[in-house]
Each structure stands twice: as C-alpha cells, then as structure tokens.
C-alpha cells in the first residue's frame, strides 16, 4: 500500500530511465554502476508505487534496455523507442504536459549519456514546468569528463543534482510511512553497490573541476 499523500514530500513523482541499452555497455564510463543505481531506484519505485518511464535510442540497431533492469519494467507507464535525444517524446510527453495545462511532476532521471540525452530530457521537462532531479550516481557518458560539465549545466538550469539514496528518502518523506522498513532494507542491501557507484562516478576529477564539484 502506498503511503498516504500527507506523508510524502513528493506528490507526483516519476522515474525516467534513459537509454540504458546493452550496446552501450563497453563504451560508457562505469556503465555497470549506472545499472546498479538504476536497479536500486526501480526497486524503490516499485515499493513506493512510483510510475516508471523508459526509453531506448534506435532500438532496432542498439537493442533493448539491459536484461538486469527488465524485471522492474513490466508495468512501465511508457516504454518508448526514439531517435530524438530527449525522452520528452510521444507517449511520454503526452503524460507530462506543460504545467500551464497540467500538474507539475517531480521527475528523477537516470541513464545515459549525461551530456546528451539526459541533459536534453531535463531541459525539456524544466521548460514544461516540472521539477527535475538528476542522480549523480545514476548517470554517465562515454567520456568521463563530460559528466561533470553536464551536471553543472543542469544545476544552473534549475535541476536538482542529488544521489539515489537522498532522492528515495526525500520522496518517502516520513519514517512512519508503511514502506519505511522495506526501503531501509533495500538501502542496506544495496549499500556496497551504492558506495562503489559514488566512488566510481563521483570520486574522480575532470577538466571542469571534478564531477564531485558539480553536486
């Protein structure tokens, strides 16, 4: 059972999973860590009954979303293939209209690449009036140096750059929520992977002053 809305800090959250496809596994910096953070987020979304939206980039050529994430995507609100870089397309955009005509949503984004598809998705959502959260332990690019630049740009544009654990607890909002024990168990279980993701994706330096300096 989902927590009563009065307990939630976020009233209309959604999870966006951007283009985490097998074809990119060898070319994306710390790809496996992005997958593990995304898996954690999707498990939390299942517990908290948060809708999930997923895209692939040119699925016919680059394949489907990686097998590790498939068990959590069966009930996705949309699973869209695209050639545009932004996820804000077709069936997804239709469910996230501009706040001039709809309700503002709290959208968290994970996936690849941070400086291309993730950035353009975030910018489109912000332009439509939604609140955007980008997980620094859940996005990456083929070039490590691009990530810090992208996160700094998105923060300046109005997105919140945060971590998976922070976002999950902020979304839940209250330790009296019925899902609290399940979330604590998940966080403990995924702790080693989360630490490795934080160290791998945030621990180094880049030409822009370091990925860590952008959060």
Q: Which residues are catalytic?
A: 19, 82, 117
Residues sharing a CB contact under 8 Å with residue 195, sequence separation 6 or more, in sequence order: none
Distance CA 35, CA 30 (A): 9
Tokens for 43, please give them. 């498990």
Task: Report H helices in the chain.
Answer: 31-48, 59-62, 90-95, 119-127, 144-157, 164-172, 180-189, 191-202
| Structure-block tokens of residue 19 | 């283009």
- As a 3-state breakdown, the chain gives helix, strand, coil percent values, each rounded to 5, of 45, 20, 35
């Amino acid at each position: 059972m989902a927590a009563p809305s009065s307990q939630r800090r976020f009233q209309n959250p959604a999870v966006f999973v951007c283009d985490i496809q097998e074809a990119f596994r060898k070319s994306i910096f710390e790809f496996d860590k992005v997958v593990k953070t995304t898996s954690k987020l999707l498990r939390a979304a299942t517990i908290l009954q948060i809708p999930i939206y997923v895209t692939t980039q040119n699925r016919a050529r680059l394949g489907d979303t990686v097998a590790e994430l498939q068990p959590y995507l069966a009930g996705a609100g949309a699973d869209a293939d695209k050639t545009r870089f932004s996820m804000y397309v077709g069936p997804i955009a239709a469910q996230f209209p501009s706040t001039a005509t709809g309700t503002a949503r709290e959208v968290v984004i994970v996936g690849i690449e941070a400086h291309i598809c993730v950035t353009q998705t975030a910018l489109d959502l912000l332009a439509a009036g939604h609140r955007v959260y980008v997980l620094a332990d859940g996005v990456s690019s083929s070039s490590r140096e691009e990530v810090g630049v992208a996160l700094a740009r998105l923060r300046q544009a109005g997105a919140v750059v945060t971590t998976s654990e922070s976002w999950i607890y902020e979304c839940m909002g209250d330790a009296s929520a019925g899902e609290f024990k399940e979330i604590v168990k998940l966080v403990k279980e995924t702790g080693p992977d989360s630490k490795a993701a934080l160290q791998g994706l945030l621990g180094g330096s880049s030409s822009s002053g370091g990925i860590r300096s952008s959060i």
